[in-house]
Amino acid sequence: MGCFTHQQLCRKRILNNMNRLTILSLAMLLLGTFHYASGQELKLNKLEYFEKQGVNVLVYNNLFTGGFNDEKNAGIELIHHGVRTAQGGAVRLSNTPEQWDLVPDISNRKVDRASNNIEATLRYKDYDFNSRVVVTPKGKGVEISVYLDKPLPKALEGAAGFNLEFLPSQYWGKAYLMDGRYNRFPRYVVGNTVTRPNSEKPKQFKGYNTSDDRGTGKFIDPLPLEKGRSFLLAPDEPSRLVKITTQDADLMLYDGRVLAQNGWFVVRSMLPAGKTGKVLTWTVEPNAINGWVREPNIGFSQVGYIPAQQKVAVIELDKKDKPLQTASLYKVGEDGNATPVYSGKISSWGDYFKYHYAKFDFTSVKTPGIYYIQYGKFKTNNFLIENGVYDKITDATSDIWIPIHMNHMAVNEGYRVWHGEPFKEGYRQAPPNTDHFDLHAQGPTTDTRYKALELIPGLNVGGYFDAGDFDIETGANISVVQNFVRTWEYFKPSRDQTFVSQKQRYVDLHRPDGTPDVLQFIEHGTLNLVAQAKIIGHMSQTLSNAVLDNYHHLGDAASLTDGLPYNPALGPHEVAPDGKSSGVKDDMWAFTSRNPGLDFNAATTLAAASRALKGYNDSLAASALEQSKRLLIEATELLGKRPQDSLGRRGGSNIATNLQLYISTREQQYLDKFQELLWPALDRNVTFTLLTALDAIPHLDAAYKEKLRPYVVKYNDYIKGLEKDNPYGVPIGLGNWAGSGDVMNFGTTVCFASKYFPEIIDASHAFKAAGYLFGSHPYHNYSLVATVGATRPKAMFYGNNRADFSFIPGNVAPGLLFRKPDHFENYDDWPFFWGQNEGTIAGNTSYLIFGSAFKNVIK
């Protein structure tokens, strides 16, 4: 049984020889890979990062935040052949840091051009612990050295190490070698863990334990997948190949997804105890493909074009790529064959941050049909030219995304239950002096008649989930109801595709019930605002989670809590004999510190909602108006006690508020205040204020419109300036939340300005905003609206189903996130960046207004 035949032995020798040849070939390939990258050294550029063609190494150009701590957007970062594939390079206190784990303050960043290095001082003030990280080009990569002026604090021995994190979606399925041992990065987390006492875990942000111990007193600690001194990532994919070596300590590979779905692959070396000076050095060598040039990004509207509009593709090019002279448009015939129908010149626009831009104008093509663009060897996916291409751009948002985010309702779609009825147990009063992990805080008192942790009855009605989580952000919900009211009053959308029953607390998608959906959306938001006003007495900051483990809950909102009020007389997992309470501390909290400015805004929205609801839900309309008047009186009194700022404001009264109050009440005091505040604000910033000013035109006289005219002319100059500012001709945000909101606001403003002042503002500018949202933007050409853009909308969003690497139809992504100093990105293979992929209820209802106004312009 244990013997081999002659033939088996021969086959075995052949297989062994083949394996040796395979390993030898791979080794030669690796040598060749590094050989053809030789001679390409990283250089410190004017933007203060290290660069060579195909590789950028950023060194604390983007810093960790003090809000959500680890947003996977900071530290030492690697942009590898156009994609940011590694980040988080820093001294960290966890093997696989989670979002709320402590992050270092960068107290000093120094660029030394004489020494050709960048140095940063990292400080953990909780431990009075400083380290210095110095990054210097070396060979084909960089040398990263960690210096300690004092030995590690005892509390951090065995906890502090240097980490560099790699994006899983760019590496799963690819091979790696640790000290010559072959393995492969897993598509789904398969790492091993151990449990340790909570006392062994370093102190976390604000004391929150991100890995809930479920009463065990222990936390989960991942174990390394591999250890060694030489680590080679992705030798089978040269565009992602990175070599890391060290002589000082083991390199340990972890899979951060074992604790959190948004975790990355982490390479880590521990810092030694009792040592000072240079305590750790890594050499990191990202491979640069010889002669690599980024493929063109041909931006166009994935939704398509109406025949009469201007049609311009924006082509984003590597600065080393020479623009071609022409591009062509192909039409797909009914027989499936494509024929060229137009060839046009490419015009160079110029450089914008990292890339060069050119344009291809095919406006003259007006015949309806199926088309694609051919630029050299690059061919886009197809799109339509047809009069009705924009007719349904808001349907997915209003039919699916918005109703799915209705809180306190069970939501069904066909065979799928999106979520059951959440939070049947209601909300408890947040204790005084409580900080919250979502940047809220309860002040020194409750500002209510309820005691700490007392159940506040009646708040679990109406309202909308804010975004990718399940809280009610009251400020956002106020804006949302106002957005719905504006949509209803301007456009009277009669669309009815959703069954909504407040009595049953049930929503069914694609099931008409005889009532326009927008009216039901207004009702649902107003129910929660009125409940807060009547029961709390004013607006809460938020109705949110008390437990961090619940806050980052993914899945059915109804399973976030057990649906039973907490009973302190019961054990941790005990249910009362009558089944009406439990010992689980998972009840939601109401943060109720009073903000008279928020009350003032709520008074405005409730007054507006009462107009819309009259004749549909008269009792709710009456309650909304009653609470509006009361909140207005009380908020005005409270605001009057506040000191004025340099502009004479007291922290709550604003232009839009006074306008809406005037429309609702026709009281002269609000009109006077609106005009008093409006004109100075327009002088300061016409782009921010003009849309509100335009909203007043139907309600004021001709003299007001004429007085507004010079500001519209000024806004037209702003539009012309955008054409010079960037190749897309729209406002592009450069903050830590991408700029789709600015683009939608711009598009909406253009729509209304062109309506009232067509001789000044050309409505065609609105098409630039639509084009940007639907595919003509930096980095890639995907539509930023889920399922809108039939051929290539974005496929992954940061929603409450993000762990499924999916989307909720109708979601609008924040868009192209700017990473300092010159990199735009929008991942469509990794949904966990909220700043570029998370749709919000306020943002998506703003899209509802823009889409409605845009369709109205087309009509």
3-state secondary structure 765-793: HHHHHHHHHCCCCCCCCCECECCCCCCCE
Distance in angstroms (rounded) separating the CA atoms of residues 847 and 744: 6
- In this predicted structure, what is the pLDDT of residue 645? 59
- Residue 549 burial (CB < 10 Å; 0-12/13-18/19+)? middle
Query: What average pLDDT score do residues 782-799 get?
Result: 94
pLDDT band at 35 (very low <50, low <70, confident <90, very high): very low
Query: Across-strand partners of 825?
Result: 817
pLDDT band at 37 (very low <50, low <70, confident <90, very high): very low
Whether residues 196 and 261 share a domain: the answer is yes
DSSP state of 94: S
Query: What average pLDDT score do residues 205-231 get?
Result: 74
Give the active site residue among 454, 672, 676, 829.
829
Whether residues 224 and 339 share a domain: the answer is no
What is the side-by-side order of every strand in the sheet holding 175-178? Answer: 105-112, 117-124, 129-138, 141-148, 277-286, 242-245, 230-233, 175-178, 181-184
Q: Cα–chain-centroid distance for residue 699?
A: 37
Identity (one letter) of the amino acid at 496?
D
**Any idea which of 164-173, 203-212, 251-260, 504-513 has the lowest mean pLDDT?**
203-212
The reply to whether omega before 821 is within 30° of 0 (cis) is yes
Closest alpha carbon to 352 in 327, 316, 301: 316
Distance in angstroms (rounded) separating the CA atoms of residues 363 and 389: 16
Query: What average pLDDT score do residues 602-622 get?
Result: 96
Whether residues 304 and 265 share a domain: the answer is no
The DSSP-derived string for 485-505 is HHHHHHH------EEEETTTT
- In this predicted structure, what is the pLDDT of residue 26? 46
Domain with 310 in it:
297-385
| 833, 727 contact by CB (below 8 A) | no
The vertex-663 CA angle with 660 and 666, nearest 5°, equals: 125
Q: How many CB atoms lie within 10 A of CB 53?
A: 17
Whether residues 185 and 277 share a domain: the answer is yes
pLDDT band at 402 (very low <50, low <70, confident <90, very high): very high
The H or E element containing residue 690 is helix 686-695
| 484, 518 contact by CB (below 8 A) | yes
Whether residues 282 and 314 share a domain: the answer is no
Query: What average pLDDT score do residues 228-247 get?
Result: 98
How large is the C-alpha radius of gyration of the chain?
Answer: 29
Question: Is pLDDT at 21 greater than 50 in this prediction?
Answer: no
pLDDT band at 766 (very low <50, low <70, confident <90, very high): very high
pLDDT band at 646 (very low <50, low <70, confident <90, very high): low
Distance in angstroms (rounded) separating the CA atoms of residues 524 and 107: 47
Whether residues 100 and 148 share a domain: the answer is yes
| Domain-embedded: residue 326 | yes
Closest alpha carbon to 631 in 527, 532, 538: 538
Closest alpha carbon to 285 in 27, 41, 32: 41
| 123, 166 contact by CB (below 8 A) | no
Distance in angstroms (rounded) separating the CA atoms of residues 771 and 310: 11
- In this predicted structure, what is the pLDDT of residue 203? 64
Task: Report the chain's mean pLDDT, rounded to a whole number.
Answer: 92
| 560, 548 contact by CB (below 8 A) | no
- In this predicted structure, what is the pLDDT of residue 89? 98
- In this predicted structure, what is the pLDDT of residue 550? 83
CATH number at residue 99: 2.70.98
Query: Which of 352, 370, 385 is the C-terminal boundary of a domain?
Result: 385
Identity (one letter) of the amino acid at 113?
R
Q: How many CB atoms lie within 10 A of CB 802?
A: 23
| 279, 147 contact by CB (below 8 A) | yes
| 244, 89 contact by CB (below 8 A) | no
Residues in the chain: 859
Q: What are 694-730's pLDDT values in tens digits?
A: 999 999 999 999 999 999 999 999 999 999 999 999 9
Question: Is pLDDT at 648 greater than 70 in this prediction?
Answer: no
Distance in angstroms (rounded) separating the CA atoms of residues 7 and 668: 102
The vertex-800 CA angle with 798 and 803, nearest 5°, equals: 70
Distance in angstroms (rounded) separating the CA atoms of residues 228 and 269: 10
Whether residues 263 and 333 share a domain: the answer is no
Query: Which of 334, 354, 385 is the C-terminal boundary of a domain?
Result: 385
| Domain-embedded: residue 120 | yes
Question: Is pLDDT at 34 greater than 70 in this prediction?
Answer: no
Work out the percent of the chain whose per-residue pLDDT is above 90. Answer: 85
Distance in angstroms (rounded) separating the CA atoms of residues 505 and 11: 69
| 794, 807 contact by CB (below 8 A) | yes
Distance in angstroms (rounded) separating the CA atoms of residues 98 and 69: 9
DSSP state of 401: I
Residue that is written with structure tokens 């995907």 in the block? 782
Distance in angstroms (rounded) separating the CA atoms of residues 756 and 697: 8
Torsion angle defined by CA atoms of residues 697, 698, 700 and 705, in that order, rounded to the nearest 10 degrees: 30
| Domain-embedded: residue 489 | no
| 285, 141 contact by CB (below 8 A) | yes
Query: Which of 340, 365, 385 is the C-terminal boundary of a domain?
Result: 385
Distance in angstroms (rounded) separating the CA atoms of residues 483 and 604: 12
Q: What are 303-360's pLDDT values in tens digits?
A: 999 999 999 999 999 999 999 999 999 999 999 999 999 999 999 999 999 999 999 9
Query: What average pLDDT score do residues 269-284 get?
Result: 98
Distance in angstroms (rounded) separating the CA atoms of residues 854 and 771: 12
Q: Is 829 a catalytic residue?
A: yes
Identity (one letter) of the amino acid at 677?
L
Task: Please tell me the pTM assigned to this model.
Answer: 0.93
Q: What are 444-461's pLDDT values in tens digits?
A: 999 999 999 999 999 999
Closest alpha carbon to 810 in 792, 785, 783, 845: 785
Whether residues 256 and 204 share a domain: the answer is yes
- In this predicted structure, what is the pLDDT of residue 241? 98
What's the number of domains the chain is made of?
2
Long-range contacts from 508-512, C-beta under 8 angstroms, 24+ separation: 508/411, 508/412, 508/413, 509/399, 509/400, 509/403, 509/404, 509/411, 509/412, 509/413, 509/414, 510/399, 510/413, 510/414
CATH number at residue 381: 2.60.40.10
Q: Which two tokens stand for residue 827?
A: 């991942």
- In this predicted structure, what is the pLDDT of residue 221? 87
Whether residues 223 and 182 share a domain: the answer is yes
| 295, 315 contact by CB (below 8 A) | no
Q: Within the chain, what is the greatest distance between any pair of CA atoms?
A: 105
Query: What average pLDDT score do residues 404-408 get?
Result: 98
- In this predicted structure, what is the pLDDT of residue 68? 81
Distance in angstroms (rounded) separating the CA atoms of residues 628 and 599: 9
Distance in angstroms (rounded) separating the CA atoms of residues 454 and 446: 11
- In this predicted structure, what is the pLDDT of residue 251? 98
Query: What average pLDDT score do residues 517-539 get?
Result: 98
- In this predicted structure, what is the pLDDT of residue 5? 36
- In this predicted structure, what is the pLDDT of residue 384? 98
The vertex-743 CA angle with 738 and 749, nearest 5°, equals: 150
Whether residues 209 and 331 share a domain: the answer is no
- In this predicted structure, what is the pLDDT of residue 859? 87
| Domain-embedded: residue 143 | yes
**Any idea which of 214-218, 239-243, 488-492 has the lowest mean pLDDT?**
214-218
Question: Is pLDDT at 855 greater than 70 in this prediction?
Answer: yes
Whether residues 188 and 316 share a domain: the answer is no
Q: How many CB atoms lie within 10 A of CB 333?
A: 11
| Domain-embedded: residue 509 | no
pLDDT band at 25 (very low <50, low <70, confident <90, very high): very low
User: How far lies 159's CA from each of 27, 222, 273, 475, in Å?
Assistant: 36, 13, 10, 40
| Domain-embedded: residue 480 | no
- In this predicted structure, what is the pLDDT of residue 200? 77
Distance in angstroms (rounded) separating the CA atoms of residues 129 and 153: 7
| Domain-embedded: residue 528 | no
Whether residues 194 and 303 share a domain: the answer is no
Distance in angstroms (rounded) separating the CA atoms of residues 684 and 328: 45
Identity (one letter) of the amino acid at 349?
W
| Domain-embedded: residue 16 | no
Q: Cα–chain-centroid distance for residue 170?
A: 19
Q: Is 838 a catalytic residue?
A: yes
